[in-house]
Amino acid sequence: MFTELSKLSFKGTFGREYVWQTAKKPNCLLAGTILGSQVLRVRLLRSSRLDNTRYQLADGGAGTLPYHSWIVAKGDEQWHETGQLEEAIVRSILEPYLQGWAIAPDALRLTRPLASEERVFGLGERTGTMNKRGQAFPIWNIDPHKGHGPRTVTMYTSIPFYLGLTLNDGRAHGVLLDHTGRVDVDMGNSNGSAASMTVQGDSLIAYFFTGPTPADVLKQYTELTGRMPMPPRWSMGHHQCRWSYLSQKQIHQIATRMRERNHPCDAIWLDIDYTDEYRNFTWNTSTFPDPEQMISELHAQGMHLVTIIDPGTKIDKHYAVYQQGIEHDYFCRFQNGELFTGTVWPGACVFPDYSQSRVRDWWGNLYQPLLQQGVDAMWNDMNEPAVTNLLVHDEPTAETKTNTMSDDVLHQAGREQPTGIDGPPTLHKFYHNAYGMEMARATYEGLLHLRPDSRPFVLTRSGTAGVQRYAALWTGDNTSQWADILMAMPMCMNIGMSGVAFVGVDIGGFWGASNGELLVRFAQLGALMPFCRNHNAMGNPDQEPWSFGEPFESAYRSAIETRYRLMPYLYTLFHEAASSGAPIMRPLYYHYPQDEQAGGVEDAFLVGESLLSAPIYEQGATSRSVYLPAGIWFDYWTGDEYPGGGWNTFTAPLERWPLFIRANSILPSGPVMQFVDQYPTEPLTLTCHMATDGLATYTLYEDDGNSLAYQQGASARTDISCRVLKDFVTVEIEEHFDNYRPSREEYEVIVHTGGRTLQKKVQAGQGKMVIRL
């Protein structure tokens, strides 16, 4: 039923787009353009005219590029014109991307070849193996059944982007569909040598990223879809959450216990039960009589408070948020004008239409009272959106028969001002995957507006391509079981490879009962994941760090202390993600793209370029085998050296897990703190792990950790290099503190090389220092 577009003839240019048609299907066309030197776009339109209509809109609707793209952050006008290039050259660059487009009466499909050696990564939040080759699945956000696992077909966040990597030559490329409706992906499942992506509707828009390294692809992809702005430093600390801490008193107890028992912690989280019967932006005043007092006590302890907000708005004519939304027509409606209603925690609810900027502005401002009371950041949940009383899908698999807004609900993005085109609305079926992201956007923009001098921090459950611009992501309701430690790794690495660097899982597991050993191993996984939060469902035994006594409590503490020591390294990685789109938690192939063994590793990850973490994920295990890529690796705990390029078994008593440092790397670290901004990082330790004859270079990034001044350049860079010569070692430190001056007295330089440890303290602030050890 699909007809492939072939025998294309070039029709000419329209603006920056080059247009082709075929006699076979005169009522459709292909338009391609080059954006920058490594990003290309081709779109297939079911239309005989290139008039920018029918772009992800309800059938027959009008819109223009890129205005109606929720995914793309950088519009056509922001890329250089292609005018410099000769027409024939542009055409020859685009031609390879004109193959594989097909059309059916109600669907459009793009098919790309898969090379025999090609593996497929990215594709957002998915369970199962890291390499998606051979699999077929829908891109459609849902709140999956309790206990998601390897067979769950789709999750809360889906991202229609894949990275193809041919391991024999290490070359990577990427493909993004700019589509927020359902995409049926087939990565070599029905045809082993082809990847296809199918959508409904009248337009199919694909972006191609030419690489050639995985890092290049991520850079190109995030140039188009946007990057994570720097989050506040405290959000990189350890967080404690529970569904639910039920009272002000309990919050006080948890925070005080953290401090008394020396568990580093930067934030406590309030789940839905802090509200007045699940009404957003309200408090249960009998259990939380004085939120301001509670929050100021937390702040005095160096803690932050995060509160949850869901989209479902209780239908209650005495509830101000409902009243305002009705008065201004902010809630989603069906085509016939009826309000869409669905059941969530508060009972019958209506749902804000976040596709409209006026609705996002309203919602963003609703956070004001919470912020005034001192709440520091927001957590958006249930934003797929999850609706518990509706079954709207008749898919053959149980998992997709899930509850969300109906396909024929409308999103009135056409009312957008000031860019507003008075266009018709978009059907939910074409908008669905953007709903959660647009809620997070409303929250992010609201926080930024209300507190313009602080970096917003938002955590979201649902999102799609581009969500990194607004929020960090956690992977929802995992289970307190060993398999979920393993499952977290490929899932979060693929999320990172889909542009979302700030990601984590519920430490300890959400559903079910945890136990001491499992909790510790979960904490060792989470200690070096970008987002580090312990969270647990209602009705389960407690799983705070102290819940299972010794030796578990000490082992948990020590894992988190490792994170806090490495905070200068992590912070620099967050900045790298913000400036180039690089993931923080990286699959081994990211730095070893030609290494076939590394390409298959799913149970270990790199943290930046220098650390390799291999968590324990089997009950009772006190050792595991780890693949170390080529080169020399140092055991983080013992300093022992191991040659890479193979598998080895390493011991892991409860209080440790296999963790390695790449030779010829410089790792910045500081003392343990109880919260990230407790003291200045003093001394700043620079540990150089060196091979004989080795050379290492590193640039440490620092800024004030909370304001937006870094965007105007208020940051410090410290270039460090270490060189191992025949008879001595030199370390050079060059400070660039003109725009921001970190408070620092001293560097502690430690060099490990050839079985020896050399050490020296140097006074900071001298500009450029050459140290001989």
Nearest approach, Cβ of 524 to ligand MIG (angstroms)? 21
State which of positions 633-692 bind ligand MIG (CB under 6 A): none
With contact defined as beta carbons under 8 Å apart, do 668 and 569 qualify? yes
Q: What's the distance, Cα to Cα, between the start and end of the chain in Å? A: 73
Q: Which of 384, 416, 641, 703 is catalytic?
A: 384
484 forms part of the interface with ligand MIG (CB under 6 A): no
Q: How far apart are CA 661 and CA 671, in angstroms?
A: 19
Residue of the chain from 17, 477, 517, 735 that contacts ligand MIG (CB under 6 A) = 477
Helix (H, G, I), strand (E, B) or coil at 301: coil
Pick 381 or 603: Cβ nearer ligand MIG: 381
209 forms part of the interface with ligand MIG (CB under 6 A): no
Nearest approach, Cβ of 518 to ligand MIG (angstroms)? 18
Cβ atoms within 10 Å of 170's Cβ, excluding its own: 17
Which helix or strand (DSSP H or E) is residue 162 part of?
strand 161-166
Nearest approach, Cβ of 382 to ligand MIG (angstroms)? 6
State which of positions 565-594 bind ligand MIG (CB under 6 A): none
Pick 49 or 145: Cβ nearer ligand MIG: 145
Nearest approach, Cβ of 141 to ligand MIG (angstroms)? 13
Pick 308 or 410: Cβ nearer ligand MIG: 308
HEC profile of 349-396 = EECECCCCHHHHHHHHHCCHHHHHHCCCEEEECCCCCCCCCCCCCCCC
Q: How far apart are CA 327 and CA 349, in angstroms?
A: 16
Strands 267-270 and 304-309: parallel
Q: State the residue number with the nearest CB to ligand MIG.
A: 243
Tokens 């900027």 locate to 357
Question: Which of 635, 630, 624, 625 has its CA nearest to residue 598?
Answer: 630
Cβ atoms within 10 Å of 732's Cβ, excluding its own: 14
Pick 384 or 641: Cβ nearer ligand MIG: 384
Q: Which of 223, 477, 517, 735 is catalytic?
A: 477
Nearest approach, Cβ of 372 to ligand MIG (angstroms)? 24
Q: How far apart are CA 285 and CA 296, in angstroms?
A: 17
Nearest approach, Cβ of 309 to ligand MIG (angstroms)? 10
Q: Draw the binding track, 526-545, toward ligand MIG (x: CB under 6 A; -: no contact).
A: ---------x----------
Nearest approach, Cβ of 308 to ligand MIG (angstroms)? 6
What is the total residue count of the chain? 773
Any idea what DSSP says for residue 145? P
Question: Which of 329, 327, 331, 365 has its CA nearest to residue 349?
Answer: 331
Nearest approach, Cβ of 684 to ligand MIG (angstroms)? 36
Question: Which of 345, 354, 348, 352 has its CA nearest to residue 382?
Answer: 345
272 forms part of the interface with ligand MIG (CB under 6 A): yes
With contact defined as beta carbons under 8 Å apart, do 443 and 462 qualify? no
Pick 354 or 474: Cβ nearer ligand MIG: 474
Residue of the chain from 118, 202, 266, 271 that contacts ligand MIG (CB under 6 A) = 271
Pick 28 or 308: Cβ nearer ligand MIG: 308
Nearest approach, Cβ of 392 to ligand MIG (angstroms)? 18
Q: Which of 143, 202, 310, 381 is catalytic?
A: 381
State which of positions 449-468 bind ligand MIG (CB under 6 A): 461
Nearest-5° angle of CA 525, CA 159, CA 598? 45
Structure tokens at 735: 């400070």
Nearest approach, Cβ of 476 to ligand MIG (angstroms)? 5
Question: Which of 417, 448, 394 has its CA nearest to residue 182?
Answer: 394
Pick 355 or 475: Cβ nearer ligand MIG: 475
Pick 270 or 489: Cβ nearer ligand MIG: 270
Q: How far apart are CA 366 and CA 349, in angstroms?
A: 17
Structure tokens at 290: 């004085």
Pick 186 or 506: Cβ nearer ligand MIG: 506
381 is catalytic: yes
Task: Provide the Cα torsion 154, 155, 161, 166; round to 10°.
Answer: -70
384 is catalytic: yes
Going from the C-alpha of 205 to that of each of 178, 313, 314, the distances in angstroms are 5, 34, 37
Written as one letter, the residue type at 753 is T
Number of residues that bind ligand MIG (CB under 6 A): 10
Nearest approach, Cβ of 271 to ligand MIG (angstroms)? 5
Pick 100 or 311: Cβ nearer ligand MIG: 311
With contact defined as beta carbons under 8 Å apart, do 624 and 658 qualify? yes
Written as one letter, the residue type at 16 is R
Nearest approach, Cβ of 540 to ligand MIG (angstroms)? 11
Q: How far apart are CA 439 and CA 457, in angstroms?
A: 14
Any idea what DSSP says for residue 445? H
Pick 378 or 716: Cβ nearer ligand MIG: 378
State which of positions 285-324 bind ligand MIG (CB under 6 A): 308
Nearest approach, Cβ of 690 to ligand MIG (angstroms)? 44
416 forms part of the interface with ligand MIG (CB under 6 A): no
381 forms part of the interface with ligand MIG (CB under 6 A): yes
Residue 635, beta-bridge partner list:
660
With contact defined as beta carbons under 8 Å apart, do 714 and 706 qualify? no
Side-chain half-sphere CA neighbours of 669 within 13 A: 18
Pick 535 or 557: Cβ nearer ligand MIG: 535
Spell 592-625 as b/e; 16+ CB within 10 A means b: bbebebbbbbbbbbbbbebbbbbbbbeeeeeebe
Residue of the chain from 20, 101, 209, 243 that contacts ligand MIG (CB under 6 A) = 243
Strands 238-240 and 267-270: parallel
Question: Which of 219, 176, 167, 222 has its CA nearest to residue 195?
Answer: 176
Strands 377-380 and 458-460: parallel
223 forms part of the interface with ligand MIG (CB under 6 A): no
521 forms part of the interface with ligand MIG (CB under 6 A): no
476 forms part of the interface with ligand MIG (CB under 6 A): yes
Pick 355 or 534: Cβ nearer ligand MIG: 534
Q: Which residues bind ligand MIG (CB under 6 A)?
A: 243, 271-272, 308, 381-382, 461, 476-477, 535
Provide the annotated active-site residues: 381, 384, 477
